Structure 1
């Protein structure tokens, strides 16, 4: 029995030129490079210029993904952009990307699931493609989190950075087995009881302001490992695969300690884990496609590899996706 799969044709990324190091942060707030690295694994992060918006980052990443896929933008009929830092309250930032690429057909919209955004967007696009509604999709994660940080709060401002990553998906007829290329299974969750542990204290419908990111770090850490492993076990159960079958584990790049603990609990070998948090910080919805792009460009991820994505974000939201490259 055959099946339609969402196959990845290419990926791309973009990082702002400005790099903010731990040493620079230590000149502004009561922190140090050792303190940040020990607790998070982060050494530096990229910060968007004042005239550089989320859409600009997303457009650059989209163009890189299209070039990698060697396809024309006009063949794209679906754009799903995951972001918590849109250019405007409305319209969707995805529409700005669509316009910049010269596309005036199909559909483009934003999706908001914070750090889980890319996995949620990938799942959404996969469902559209498998249902036959669209043929080719751009899935983008793009953020300018530097705009919603309280730069006096050392518990949060040291963690986040700006960036964007994108993949091109195409609906292809496959054999319907786990040997297929493309998205094999996805699993999403959310639980609003945990809102106060990670949120932004503003919004147009409440305070009429953008607000700042607030986080109970210890509480987030406490829940993260269990939630992450939950949806990965679901992926293994759905496909019959185990940790031994995974070629690459590309998690949301929030904190090296969370990544290490999750991989250990799942028995995923350290050499299979793709880490970019040290150079990018937590770029929220952009972190997985940014890390993926690095691993593809340096030759680690190859055609036929089994790649596992996972993420957890404010809400709480969390999810996993298992993809054969």
Structure 2
């Protein structure tokens, strides 16, 4: 039988580390533009306790999103051993295009996928390059789209990338800015003949809630009272996002697993979007409760948010690459293991993919 199989992975983890103590001199303002009079250390300590984030990574001034996407892509290509010219598709999940350092202007023409193809020097005109904007679940949605193209007989080999430089669209006066980071993760996906118990995508699920939920994450002016209101930064209604995710993501994950026919007790790992440690833990616990289990396996959920922060579309492919290549001392996966990819983000959008390694 034919299945979509991940045959190569790669990531680009930026070299600049921004630790929580680096924010001690920050002045934070509330949504109503009033200064938050709590000591920065108290704010930061509470932030770390909730999110789990101790440090995050930012790109150097000379790099843009398409640059780190290219680095991750080349690593995935090398890992897979494919000839780049045989690629049918390049899908880049992103949300802000290239944002040039010290500006807030996004540059998405040409598409980042076109820039990646250019950077890789791929000549094949039948290799179609395009971007996808789907919030943080973008990379997983790219995987789902590649799988759909394969099943439709329109492609056999795809490069799917998630890349973002959120450090360039954050409001430094907003305490939520400490969540965000930069990074890129990439995968080669091929439509291959496998045995029934072999590797590949087993099922997928996607949802969009765009009524009251559409603007839970959006672009808006800085919280700093004297800022230019015409300049927009990424903003998030944290409580609304948490409540939304906890209500809907476990249901989507369960639907995906049910569709795959895999018993939850055979699930090895969950690679969930690295958004917030407490929220991710609550989502996984809620999913297990939907299956009738009161306890969650202690080793089910690898995490890298503690030292990489939330790099949006890059978190899941980066984490998968780290674990797959034995760079996480606490987690490992092996051939035949069933895993679940899951994410939630701006839109609001949710998705999940059940995959056998």
- Normalised by the length of structure 1, the TM-score is 0.93
Say whether the 8 Å CA contact 1:140–1:167 is kept in structure 2.
yes
Larger gyration radius, structure 1 or structure 2: 2
* SS of residue in 2 equivalent to 1:114: coil
Name the CA distance, whole Å, in 1 between partners of 2:215 and 2:70.
33
On the 8 A contact 1:41/1:257 being kept in 2, the answer is yes
3-state SS in 1 of match to 2:4: strand
Residues 111-168 of structure 1: CA deviation (Å, up to 9, x unaligned): 00111111111101111122221121111000001111001101x2110100000110
1:192 counterpart residue number = 210
Find 1:180's aligned residue among 198, 203, 206: 198
Tell me if structure 1 keeps the 8 A contact 2:256–2:354: yes
Q: Which residue of 1 aligns with 2:90?
A: 79
The correspondence of residues 36-185 of structure 1 with structure 2, limited to 5 A, is 36-87=47-98, 88-105=107-124, 106-154=127-175, 156-175=176-195, 177=196, 179-185=197-203
Q: Distance in 2 between matches of 1:280 and 1:66?
A: 23
Cα pair 2:214 2:346 within 8 Å, conserved? yes
Question: How far apart in 2 are the matches of 1:74 and 1:260?
Answer: 41
1:301 Cα deviation from its structure 2 partner: 2.0
Query: Alpha-carbon deviation of 1:104?
Result: 2.4
Structure 1: how far apart are the matches of 2:219 and 2:343?
Answer: 19
Any stretches of 5+ residues in structure 2 without a counterpart?
29-39, 99-106, 222-229, 289-295
Whether the aligned pair in 1 keeps the contact of 2:96 and 2:108 (CA below 8 Å) is no
Match of 1:6 in 2: 4
Query: Partners in 2 of 1:94 and 1:270 — Cα distance?
Result: 38
Q: Please state if 1:231 is matched with 2:229.
A: no
1:192 positional shift:
1.0
After alignment, is 238-247 or 27-36 more displaced? 27-36
TM-score (norm 2): 0.85
Match of 1:24 in 2: 22
Matching residue of 1:206: none
- Contact 1:39 / 1:257 at 8 angstroms: preserved in 2? yes
Deviation at 1:10, TM superposition (A): 1.1
- Greater mean deviation of Cα atoms: 215-224 or 65-74: 65-74
Q: Equivalents in 1 of 2:189, 2:268: separation in Å?
A: 20
Report if aligned partners of 2:203, 2:257 keep a CA contact under 8 Å in 1.
no
1:236 shift after superposition: 1.9
Q: Counterpart in 2 of 1:205? A: none
Stretches of structure 1 that go unaligned for 5 or more consecutive residues are 203-208
Give the Cα–Cα distance (whole angstroms) in 1 for the partners of residues 231 and 149 of structure 2: 32
Task: Give me the whole-angstrom Cα distance separating, in 1, the residues matched to 2:299 and 2:135.
Answer: 28
Shift in alpha-carbon separation, 1:63–1:210, aligned structure 2, 3 A = farther
**Match of residue 354, structure 2, among 306, 322, 325:** 322
Which of residues 292, 296, 308 is equivalent to 2:324?
296
Number of positions where the alignment pairs a residue of Structure 1 with one of Structure 2? 316
Quick one: structure 1 residues 307 and 210, their matched pair in 2 at CA, closer, same or farther if it must change by over 3 Å?
farther
SS in structure 2 opposite 1:212?
strand
SS at match of 2:109: coil
> Distance between the aligned counterparts of 2:154 and 2:121, measured in 1?
21
**Structure 1 residue 210: Cα displacement:** 6.8
1:91 is paired with a residue of what secondary structure?
Answer: coil
Residue 195 of structure 1 aligns to a residue whose secondary structure is coil
Asked if the contact 1:143–1:162 (Cα under 8 Å) also holds between the matched residues in 2, the reply is: yes
